[in-house]
């Protein structure tokens, strides 16, 4: 069954950014029709479904100012950014604090810490001399946002996954979606879309082998990158990989942003720090990689030197927010944070891409507008605002809600929906092919194969030969395996779609890594064949755009940098040349292969067939 529904704004993905988009769209326009889609459930979906303990990057005077956000992002992106976007985000941070306190019905000093002078108190974490991290007592944030969305008279469709953003002449005209529990399909005629689908969580497979044992919310399969790409939007920085230090096996956050501002740090097996700071930028990732490469693993998050009061604070935060299962995980292993080796860290176990933790995603300006008219992006799918985390998702989510509402009320479309019913029927038929097959490949096996290949061939240090093989695998699985998948029900059918997204994002990662002929951002784009940054790539994006059936890549200069902050982290790419001594030498059996007469004779006698002499059932 399908439904055609007319609306003004469709929010795709009701995570932090999406819920805020809906709330702000309503505040901006009392009459705009708003639809919110979530493949999961709005109250619990996304990376902040169980809340969050901090807004990692924020500027709140007098502790820090918008210029400090620009300094930070300029440094960690090494100058490959639009500074205007970072500045505009920084400017809106204080308003976000006010909004969240209101939405969550919290007094000043309850949700965020306040100092003796009544100012919001930020913590040091980032690699600049200003504090940008605002702690938060935010377990219930997502449910409060969800309630505010319902109160704002938006129509919410839970368990409804968007599959396509439909455009005509580079203008948004619709969203096609389906409900993973009922199998109902929806075509939303809309003027604008707020794409807030999060990052690509299910890329490289971690060594636990558990498919959804991933750092980011596993519902985020890169759907937004794929939909935006298919709609004709531009994407950037897909070669700037996310590769984190995570709790080994658990794959939850390595707790660094909770524990590091409170005095914890990463150590190698001897207890020496793996790097000088705890911020997850390319240089510190390089420090973690180096510890393993030099045989100095395992690495740990050291908290044993902290006073008991601080250990209890850290436990309270880590066990009550975001990934609360950390408590069961550690307790069942008999681990205590007071032991310096309790939290074993894994590094770069799952290669992926994310706008909020790194800088990969759909290119958007300071209003969250993409290169497609009516398509706005925010949160981890947004590549225009790097390293902004949850604060960026909430601020920019709210902003794109306002902009989409404004655009929808002003823009008069004359979109032609002729033949829509036929189009929908065709789409459903094609989409449901995996359901109709009598047999075929299980979805989990295909995902397993794709993600093991991504992890093996794309994990830095990168080399072009590996990346070419990665491209080959993405294309091969897409062409040969996707048409053979057997989906058993609608839940499984969604996975078929998600695998398509994973393969597309994997291809973007590999192709953009090949295209950027230099190394940059420390570990995140380290090419062993060119282990240095090249001046011709300073301030240059790799832009990906769909052209016909192929992926077009190009180089584009970022907008002029208004602020002259250092655009470089302090690190060096190591020489990867190991002297392994003098290998044992032996005489060759023959110089001319024609001298291999014995086996050549056997080949001549037997051909390629294998003799069946002693076989079961042939004995007398």
Burial of residue 185 (CB within 10 Å: 0-12, 13-18, 19+) is buried
> Smallest distance, Å, CB 51 to other proteins?
11
Among 71-79, 130-138, 243-251, 301-309, which window interacts with other proteins (CB under 8 A)? 243-251
> Smallest distance, Å, CB 41 to other proteins?
5
Decide if residue 529 touches other proteins (CB under 8 A): no
> Smallest distance, Å, CB 1 to other proteins?
20
User: Applying CB under 8 A, which of residues 84, 121, 155, 208 lies at the interface with other proteins?
Assistant: 208
Among 215-223, 369-377, 419-427, 463-471, which window interacts with other proteins (CB under 8 A)? 215-223
> Smallest distance, Å, CB 122 to other proteins?
28
> Smallest distance, Å, CB 380 to other proteins?
16
H-state helical runs in 299-419: 308-320, 326-332, 389-410
Decide if residue 213 touches other proteins (CB under 8 A): yes
Measured from the Cβ of residue 446, the count of other Cβ atoms closer than 10 Å reads 21
Decide if residue 3 touches other proteins (CB under 8 A): no
Burial of residue 218 (CB within 10 Å: 0-12, 13-18, 19+) is middle
User: Applying CB under 8 A, which of residues 1, 31, 107, 209 lies at the interface with other proteins?
Assistant: 209
Decide if residue 329 touches other proteins (CB under 8 A): yes
Q: Which is nearer to other proteins, 302 or 323 (CB)?
A: 323
Measured from the Cβ of residue 416, the count of other Cβ atoms closer than 10 Å reads 9
User: Applying CB under 8 A, which of residues 24, 26, 33, 50 lies at the interface with other proteins?
Assistant: 50
Decide if residue 210 touches other proteins (CB under 8 A): yes
Q: Which is nearer to other proteins, 183 or 218 (CB)?
A: 218
DSSP string, 138-173: ETTHHHHHHHHHHHTTPEEETTEEEEEEEEETTEEE
User: Applying CB under 8 A, which of residues 445, 576, 600, 603 lies at the interface with other proteins?
Assistant: 445
Distance of alpha carbon 439 from alpha carbon 457, whole angstroms: 30
Q: Which is nearer to other proteins, 204 or 368 (CB)?
A: 204
User: Applying CB under 8 A, which of residues 164, 183, 184, 249 lies at the interface with other proteins?
Assistant: 249
> Smallest distance, Å, CB 459 to other proteins?
20
Contact predicate 393/368, CB 8 Å: no
Contact predicate 135/115, CB 8 Å: no
Distance of alpha carbon 280 from alpha carbon 267, whole angstroms: 15
Decide if residue 332 touches other proteins (CB under 8 A): yes
Distance of alpha carbon 310 from alpha carbon 263, whole angstroms: 9
Q: How many residues does the chain have?
A: 620
Q: Which is nearer to other proteins, 184 or 492 (CB)?
A: 492
Site size toward other proteins (CB under 8 A) is 39
What phi and psi, each to the nearest 5 degrees, are found at residue 52? -150, 155
Decide if residue 378 touches other proteins (CB under 8 A): no
Decide if residue 323 touches other proteins (CB under 8 A): yes
Q: Which is nearer to other proteins, 445 or 603 (CB)?
A: 445
DSSP string, 417-483: -TTHHHHHHHHHHHHTHHHH-SS-EEHHHHHHHHHHHHHHHHSSSB-HHHHHHHHHHHHHIIIIIGG
Which residue in 288, 355, 357 sits closest to 523, CA to CA? 288
User: Applying CB under 8 A, which of residues 3, 41, 425, 552 lies at the interface with other proteins?
Assistant: 41
> Smallest distance, Å, CB 36 to other proteins?
15
Q: Which is nearer to other proteins, 190 or 220 (CB)?
A: 220
Q: What character string, x for contact with other proteins (CB under 8 A) and - otherwise, covers 487-526?
A: -xx-xx----------------------------------
Decide if residue 444 touches other proteins (CB under 8 A): yes
Distance of alpha carbon 483 from alpha carbon 437, whole angstroms: 10
Q: Which is nearer to other proteins, 438 or 560 (CB)?
A: 438
Decide if residue 448 touches other proteins (CB under 8 A): yes
Q: Which is nearer to other proteins, 51 or 90 (CB)?
A: 51
Decide if residue 181 touches other proteins (CB under 8 A): yes
> Smallest distance, Å, CB 15 to other proteins?
10
Burial of residue 392 (CB within 10 Å: 0-12, 13-18, 19+) is buried
SS3 263: coil
Among 165-173, 190-198, 329-337, 414-422, which window interacts with other proteins (CB under 8 A)? 329-337
Sign of the Cα pseudo-torsion (11, 16, 17, 21, in order): positive
Strands of the sheet containing 192-195, edge to edge, are 155-157, 34-37, 9-12, 192-195, 375-377
Residue 90's H or E segment, with its range, is helix 83-103
Among 187-195, 326-334, 404-412, 601-609, which window interacts with other proteins (CB under 8 A)? 326-334
> Smallest distance, Å, CB 241 to other proteins?
22
Q: Which residues of 123-150 are buried (b: 16+ CB within 10 A; e: fewer)?
A: bbbbbbebbbbbbbbbbbbbbbbbbbbe
Q: How far is CA 447 from CA 84, 200, 454, in A?
A: 38, 13, 11
Distance of alpha carbon 414 from alpha carbon 197, whole angstroms: 28
Among 74-82, 244-252, 265-273, 551-559, which window interacts with other proteins (CB under 8 A)? 244-252
Among 189-197, 214-222, 366-374, 380-388, which window interacts with other proteins (CB under 8 A)? 214-222
Strands of the sheet containing 235-236, edge to edge, are 361-362, 235-236, 540-547, 550-557
User: Applying CB under 8 A, which of residues 328, 576, 600, 603 lies at the interface with other proteins?
Assistant: 328
User: Applying CB under 8 A, which of residues 4, 114, 171, 211 lies at the interface with other proteins?
Assistant: 211
Question: CA 44: distance to chain centroid?
Answer: 18
Torsion of CA 310, 313, 318, 324, to 10 degrees: 140
Decide if residue 440 touches other proteins (CB under 8 A): no
Tokens of 556: 């584009």
Q: Which is nearer to other proteins, 201 or 258 (CB)?
A: 201
Residues near other proteins (CB under 8 A): 40-41, 43-46, 49-50, 159, 180-181, 208-213, 217-219, 249-251, 323-325, 328-329, 332-333, 442-445, 448, 488-489, 491-492
């Amino acid at each position: 069954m399908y439904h055609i529904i007319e609306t003004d704004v469709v929010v795709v993905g009701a995570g932090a950014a999406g819920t805020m988009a809906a709330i702000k769209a309503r505040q901006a326009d009392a009459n705009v029709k708003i639809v919110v889609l979530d493949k999961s459930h709005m109250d619990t979906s996304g990376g902040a479904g169980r809340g969050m303990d901090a807004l990692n990057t924020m500027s709140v005077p007098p502790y820090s100012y918008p210029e400090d956000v620009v300094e930070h992002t300029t440094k960690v992106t090494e100058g490959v950014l639009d500074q205007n976007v970072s500045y505009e985000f920084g400017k809106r941070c204080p308003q976000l604090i006010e909004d969240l306190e209101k939405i969550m019905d919290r007094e000043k000093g309850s949700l965020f810490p306040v100092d003796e002078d009544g100012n919001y108190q930020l913590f040091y974490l980032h690699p600049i001399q200003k504090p940008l991290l605002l702690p938060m007592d935010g377990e219930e944030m997502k449910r409060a946002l969800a309630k505010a969305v319902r109160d704002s008279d938006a129509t919410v469709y839970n368990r409804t996954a968007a599959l396509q953003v439909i455009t005509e002449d580079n203008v948004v005209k619709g969203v096609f979606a389906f409900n993973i529990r009922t199998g109902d399909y929806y075509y939303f005629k809309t003027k604008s879309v707020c794409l807030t689908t999060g990052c690509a969580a299910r890329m490289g497979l971690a060594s636990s082998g558990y498919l959804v044992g991933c750092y980011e919310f596993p519902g985020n399969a890169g759907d937004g990158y794929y939909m935006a790409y298919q709609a004709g939007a531009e994407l950037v920085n897909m070669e700037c990989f996310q590769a984190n230090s995570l709790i080994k096996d658990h794959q939850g956050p390595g707790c660094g942003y909770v524990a590091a501002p409170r005095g914890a740090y990463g150590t190698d097996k001897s207890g020496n720090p793996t790097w000088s700071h705890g911020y997850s930028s390319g240089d510190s990732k390089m420090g973690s990689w180096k510890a393993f490469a030099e045989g100095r693993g395992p690495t740990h998050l050291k908290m044993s030197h902290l006073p008991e009061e601080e250990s209890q604070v850290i436990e309270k935060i880590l066990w009550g927010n975001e990934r609360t299962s950390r408590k069961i995980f550690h307790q069942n292993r008999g681990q205590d944070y007071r032991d310096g080796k309790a939290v074993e860290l894994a590094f770069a176990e799952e290669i992926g891409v994310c706008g909020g933790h790194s800088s990969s995603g759909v290119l958007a300006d300071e209003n969250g507008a993409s290169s497609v008219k009516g398509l706005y992006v925010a949160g981890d799918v947004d590549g225009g605002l790097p390293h902004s985390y949850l604060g960026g998702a909430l601020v920019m989510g709210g902003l794109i809600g306002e902009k989409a509402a404004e655009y929808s009320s002003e823009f008069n479309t004359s979109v032609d929906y002729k033949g829509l019913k036929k189009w929908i029927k065709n789409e459903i038929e094609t989409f449901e092919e995996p359901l109709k097959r009598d047999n075929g490949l299980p979805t989990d096996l295909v995902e397993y194969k794709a993600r093991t290949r991504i992890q093996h061939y794309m994990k830095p240090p990168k080399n072009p030969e590996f990346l070419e093989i990665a491209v080959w695998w993405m294309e091969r699985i897409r062409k040969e395996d996707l048409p053979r998948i057997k989906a058993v029900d609608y839940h499984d059918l969604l996975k078929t779609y998600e695998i398509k997204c994973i393969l597309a994002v994997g291809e973007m990662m590999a192709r953009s890594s090949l295209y950027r002929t230099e190394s940059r951002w420390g570990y995140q784009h380290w090419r062993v064949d060119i282990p240095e940054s090249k001046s011709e790539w300073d301030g240059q994006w790799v832009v990906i755009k769909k052209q016909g059936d192929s992926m077009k890549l190009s180089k584009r200069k970022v907008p002029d940098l208004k602020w002259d902050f250092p655009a470089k982290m302090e690190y060096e790419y190591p020489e990867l040349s190991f002297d392994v001594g003098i290998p044992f030498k032996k005489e060759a059996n023959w110089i001319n292969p024609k001298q291999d007469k014995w086996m050549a004779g056997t080949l001549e006698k037997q051909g390629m067939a294998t003799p069946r002499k002693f076989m079961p059932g042939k004995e007398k």
